[in-house]
Structure 1
Amino acid sequence: MRRIMMLRKFLILTLGCMMLFAFSACQQSPAKVRVAEVTRSIFYAPLYVALSKGFFKNEGLQVEVQTTWGGDKTMTALLSGGADVALVGSETSIYVYAQGANDPVINFAQLTQTDGTFLVARNHSGSFDWENLKGSTFLGQRKGGMPQMVGEFVLKKHQIDPETDVNLIQNIDFANIANAFASGTGDYVQLFEPTASIFEKEGKGHIVASFGTESGKVPYTTFMAKKNYLSQNEETAQKFTNAIYKAQQWVEKSTAAEIAKVIEPYFEDTPADVIETVVDRYKQQHSFALNPVLDEEEWNNLQDIMSEAGELPQAVEYGDLVNTKLAEKAAAE
């Protein structure tokens, strides 16, 4: 009898272990997605919302974000396999395509839909006119990047020739542009947030215009991946896009204060009130895309801006580098 009881316990224990093993095996580990972001910016608030609010986690994804500091470094990380997804300006996908890439980089989810820079004046009398820039020293962004191309596009829109009407400085590294202006270089500077708002708060300059408002809608920052990655990991890419769409909707429905509180951990060196100010400014000018669909009009506007700046290596058809399948499905569901 004792042997029977021991055998029964053994069978029960064995069955329990087998069930536990089977249960564990059925629990799929989260799919890992490595994202290379071109810079750390409040401009990308929906991405950090997706991380903080658990939208990626709810989709069964483990998303890791690394800041690669520059479009060229970001694309290098993507093309070399150091990242699965890149968050960078859509112009970079055109540059790669023009070089004859065998595995082109595809834009599959849009994050921002305007330029994110502002015109900051050293001295401000209370009123501003673009004519004020004529004869001034203008500290612009790196040549070939979207900020510089949009900057020149807007100047020309206001009948200002960047080559002859202003003393245009473009040989300062991106990371040092703000310091150069603070040190006394330039009458005007093109700056991203939160630097523009911090300068205004500290009395170092005054925000007088928005390049985002002036240039119209463009696919300024998008999530992109190599074509082969998207085809081989369609389910993962779809879940990623779903999470981004949920974050975009949350940002649209939330106040600047609520958004600032959620993304504050990603900007420990920026005062909370400045984060809120910046978020509000971007919301007011509709910089955050409402959904991840990159439409053809925005794509054509991008190429017009690049062409005007003399930086478009070749015209690229919308369907060659843009895939809206994932974004449309995310928005529909």
Structure 2
Amino acid sequence: MNKLMKRGLILLVTVVAAIGLTACKQEDKHLQKIRIAEVTRSVFYAPQYVAIEKGFFKEEGLDIELTTVPGGDKTMTALISNGADIALVGAETSIYVNSQGTEDAIINFAQLTQTDGTFLVSREPIDNFTWDMLNGSTFLGQRKGGMPQMVGEFVLKKHHIDPKNDLELIQNIDFANISSSFASGTGDFVQLFEPTASIFEKEGKGHIVASFGKESGHVPYTVFMTKESYLKENKETVEKFTRALYKAQQWVYEHSSEEVAKVIQPFFEDTELDILTSSIERYKEQKSFAENPLLDKEEWNHLQDIMEEAGELPERLDHSNYVNTEIAEKITNE
């Protein structure tokens, strides 16, 4: 190949690349941006990351801007103050906000997780664990008023353990510091999400002995929600969002845990693939990932029962007023 032909080829490749880049930019311009505020970055939210990485949102003409806003109160503040269009957070936060009589109600429209996502981790290995072993122990729980703590107390009471009197309950440690506190020697038992629970087990810092998700039953643990005004003005957009999510929910259960782990690994660069895989497998095995976006009345009422049992329910709110099932029903019936 002579120099002239080489130069021509290089020029052709450059032009094609430029055209491709321009086309991509033009395509992105036609996508509608949706700002999502997630309460934490968690393997528990795997279907959301699958929807992003597999391009399901883009297929619906949506450009997702995902921001992690630690803490349910901060996530809801972002939503209420127009810092986000959609929030991914525990459904209990919508109850706290709506019970205060907000003029622009918070509407839950698509469920992401349908069980608690925490596991009971013991400091020492236990071959034949029974819940009564927690009597007299020091239990490192979660933040008061949050779903992990309320579900934790619900499960303890289910097994005839009074969390206030039968053990030493520690719940004044920030969510981000719970795992490090246990690792440094605080508590006999701790309530942890994946992949931290599996990492602790692999490193010999703790041992998974039980699942709060299996014990508590179905509950709308993490839900996509938005303001009523946004839903009214952007109903078609929310439908597209829910359709993309449903595709991802189906994809997660149709593929192996390792395949799911490989897809979402860009969101968890510091977590080894085998840990991601085992974490996803645990959640799939107990059906923690919702199989569809529908938040039904039974789950909503069970959530309020758990909140009431914990003494954290401001008032009972009617499912029909604060949960939109029309969109999820339409999508799943297509």
TM over 0.5: yes
- How many Å apart are 1:329 and its aligned residue? 1.1
TM-score by length of structure 1 reads: 0.92
Q: Is 1:139–2:140 an aligned residue pair?
A: yes
2:249 touches 2:291 (CA, 8 Å); kept in 1? yes
Q: Is 1:87–2:91 an aligned residue pair?
A: no
- How many Å apart are 1:252 and its aligned residue? 1.1
Partner Cα distance (2:310, 2:149) in 1 = 9
- How many Å apart are 1:206 and its aligned residue? 0.3
Partner Cα distance (1:27, 1:143) in 2 = 42
4+ aligned runs moved over 3 Å, structure 1 = 24-28
Counterpart in 2 of 1:187?
188
Partner Cα distance (1:110, 1:134) in 2 = 35
Q: Is 1:319–2:294 an aligned residue pair?
A: no
1:186-205 matches, within 5 Å, as 186-205=187-206
Q: Is 1:299–2:288 an aligned residue pair?
A: no
- How many Å apart are 1:124 and its aligned residue? 2.0
Counterpart in 1 of 2:31?
30
Secondary structure of the residue aligned to 1:160 is: coil
Counterpart in 1 of 2:287?
286
- How many Å apart are 1:29 and its aligned residue? 1.4
2:126 touches 2:209 (CA, 8 Å); kept in 1? no
Q: Call closer, same or farther: CA 1:111–1:200 in 2, change over 3 Å.
A: same
Q: Is 1:173–2:174 an aligned residue pair?
A: yes
Query: Computing the radius of gyration over CA atoms, which structure comes out larger, 1 or 2?
Result: 1
Secondary structure of the residue aligned to 1:47 is: helix
Counterpart in 1 of 2:106?
105
Counterpart in 1 of 2:274?
273
Q: Is 1:162–2:163 an aligned residue pair?
A: yes
- How many Å apart are 1:332 and its aligned residue? 1.1
Q: Is 1:244–2:242 an aligned residue pair?
A: no
Counterpart in 2 of 1:331?
332
Partner Cα distance (1:181, 1:27) in 2 = 45
1:106-125 matches, within 5 Å, as 106-125=107-126
Q: Which amino acid aligns with 1:283?
A: K
Describe the superposition over 1:164-186 as per-residue Cα deviations: whole angstroms up to 9, x where unpaired.
00000011111110011000000
Counterpart in 1 of 2:71?
70
Partner Cα distance (1:149, 1:158) in 2 = 14
User: Percent identical across equivalent pairs?
Assistant: 67
Secondary structure of the residue aligned to 1:223 is: strand
Secondary structure of the residue aligned to 1:74 is: helix
TM-score by length of structure 2 reads: 0.91
Q: Which amino acid aligns with 2:117?
A: G
Q: Which moved more, 1:158-167 or 1:118-127?
A: 118-127
2:28 touches 2:63 (CA, 8 Å); kept in 1? no
Structure 2: which 5+ runs fail to align?
A: 1-24
Structure 1: which 5+ runs fail to align?
A: 1-23
Secondary structure of the residue aligned to 1:99 is: coil
